[in-house]
Structure 1
């Protein structure tokens, strides 16, 4: 008994029509031919070895078979789907380009799968999505790389992340806010976001590469996207003498993460890493920046083609939906002193530490539970192997409970008023600021 090949069987069924038409039917042969492709789509005559779905047959001058003949053929005589032609069959100008031409985006199965996997709207064309996968190090021409789209996406991501954190945690100190913003929208985080989308990168950029692959060069870093912030006039002195810059100057002069804008230092770091050519650290840094720019460029492409609301919904679904434990970002140096200053500023009664319970005082593993009280109100409690350790932990927990106050997860943000038929704005809570002078 002859064994059936299931993979060939499924490929033929995808090509077959719901109702088979015999050769002797009265339907004319021209009506059964596959529709011709538009003139803007180039035709490929080569075949692909594997595919998740069989592609319809494209009639050419040497191929005039009808769909009905495919149905009546034996299962062993299957038709392979279409793939990209090999390098030797490509025209000479295709391999000399730094990135694939835009019209090849319509032929890429990887690109179509990425478009469907991210549930992107139809208004976002495949050509723009393919451009979002071309880093500035692969193609220096800004008309074909993702530098401009990445700049727009970076602005949108930082704006929505900042307003979300400020409205949800209105009492966060600025250094913790900077750290939380970097945790949500930093290069390392966006690198993992783009990786989770299933984006793969090409070994080297070129015109023959599949447009569905991320393309960046490991030989030259390329120009980074223009960021925000000002270059300090005293930057040389800060670099030489390690001057301290406070929170106020970080807000006014530095970038969105509170880091000093120093293009020369960035170029020097890349030059030092390039000495380890194709080393792990150097390759990881280039890949991280390329993937982060790709994630930003996808957001910028959504804003350019679809609009503000779709870009905001995409940021909420893929970036703000990630879990970040903000309580782990705190590092107090003198929590007891800071708690005393907080109570004095808010006109609370001075905090007092009281022993709530203990066990095993004379054993090797004692446990003390200490609570911090302001009058009759308990501000926090902590447990530790000693009274002093438990008192410090109780002060830390009391400070965290103050700084992590939140009106709720679904708090309204200012950008909600930009949508149509928005409800009247209700002012959000604004705190007077953090404790200064630690």
Structure 2
């Protein structure tokens, strides 16, 4: 089986300005306002325009002549600068003139196959430029799926017995919005005060949302005090807004990688794309937070590395910047009744009932006594804990036994995405699941 060439089928993600194989631009209908947008597709090398006018409606008188004059008459340098300054995002040819962008490319040790034009596109948020050919929306979607895939398989293959809630927390800690925003700051990426065509391509460009305590015009009500109500197709509020608790099974099937409920616009995109575009456009007009823009940038860069450099380079980029961050899995647990959970676990696995025994003690009649208690199942010690009272030591011993079970990790960790084609695949461990009380 031959490997697919990513540039052959990535036309929906890479715009003509970033694909090295595009030297011609075909347009089906020209209008005078498109003159600015067509200039954005021009690269540093000369591009040959081949207009193919096939309008659905008859053009207005003189409109075709104005379009032809625009293509045959080369604009002057002053006219080009005035037109480029009106663009919502920088021109692609400005990427090679940005020292900040080149420094970011070198600092992150990005592959040489990733051009500066694509890196500059990753820094353009949809709130700054709504055109999908020049913002990072498509690359961000691809990067979101890649980060979720690599993170989930790394967590589950390393700790196959993790409960679902802990797995969601680990996913959020590795590739959640707050983590990706912190990574953007660690990379040294600065944010532009306002997006525009004259901004250096090395800045993160987005339209900033108003402050949370800003008042609505003419109402005297603050934005943070407005009720947020999500409704379904019939206009009724959803269950999540009514405050009903969603179970773990529902979060596993109908939620994203972090266990959060998928938004209505994302669920109904295939059925009602017009409504979703209107909601998205309305949301982008209001602006986004810095955390959202930083998250989209890191996801878009992940997708760009995958498209230009391939699967291996994308996974190495993930290991270097995401998986290399240290996470204490033992601090993600929160047991309400550990002794009961340990009894149910032993009954499910066929062990003897756990029994707590005192291992040592000191200062029983003093002001600060210390008791060391161990939990045994037959002759096997499951856990050990210490405390200022017997109950505290027994609970800590049960918690230690449960963590020792759930944090089991195999000696050799194999992830499915890194399986060698045609080689021997070593299956990973699949646990029976967490204890249900």
TM over 0.5, shorter chain: yes
- CA contact under 8 A between 1:237 and 1:243: conserved in structure 2? no
Q: Does 1:342 find its partner at 2:332?
A: no
* Corresponding residue to 1:213 among 190, 203, 209: 203
Hey, what does 1:427 align to over in structure 2? 427
- CA contact under 8 A between 2:383 and 2:401: conserved in structure 1? yes
- Cα deviation for residue 219 of structure 1 reads 4.1
User: Which runs of 5 or more structure 2 residues have no equivalent in the other structure?
Assistant: 1-42, 47-77, 212-231, 267-275
- Cα deviation for residue 262 of structure 1 reads 3.4
SS in 1 for 2:351: coil
User: Which runs of 5 or more structure 1 residues have no equivalent in the other structure?
Assistant: 1-38, 43-87, 222-230, 278-282
Q: How does 1:183-332 map to 2 (within 5 A)?
A: 183-219=173-209, 236-263=237-264, 286-332=289-335
Give me the whole-angstrom Cα distance separating, in 1, the residues matched to 2:336 and 2:101: 50
**What TM-score comes out, normalization by structure 2 length?**
0.71
- Cα deviation for residue 41 of structure 1 reads 7.0
Q: Does 1:169 find its partner at 2:159?
A: yes
Deviations 1:327-384 (A, max 9, x none): 1010001100000000000110100000111111112211111100001110001111
Q: Which runs of 4+ in 1 moved over 3 A?
A: 231-235, 262-265
Q: Does 1:416 find its partner at 2:406?
A: no
Give me the whole-angstrom Cα distance separating, in 2, the residues matched to 1:294 and 1:89: 32
- CA contact under 8 A between 2:209 and 2:289: conserved in structure 1? no
Deviations 1:240-295 (A, max 9, x none): 54212111111111111111123589x9xx9xx99xx9xxxxx9x71111111101
Q: How does 1:12-411 map to 2 (within 5 A)?
A: 40=44, 91-219=81-209, 236-263=237-264, 286-408=289-411, 411=413
- Cα deviation for residue 423 of structure 1 reads 3.9
Give me the whole-angstrom Cα distance separating, in 2, the residues matched to 1:425 and 1:101: 47
RMSD: 2.9
Give me the whole-angstrom Cα distance separating, in 1, the residues matched to 2:145 and 2:240: 28
Give me the whole-angstrom Cα distance separating, in 2, the residues matched to 1:356 and 1:212: 62
**What TM-score comes out, normalization by structure 1 length?**
0.70
Give me the whole-angstrom Cα distance separating, in 1, the residues matched to 2:201 and 2:111: 19
Aligned length: 329
- Cα deviation for residue 304 of structure 1 reads 1.1
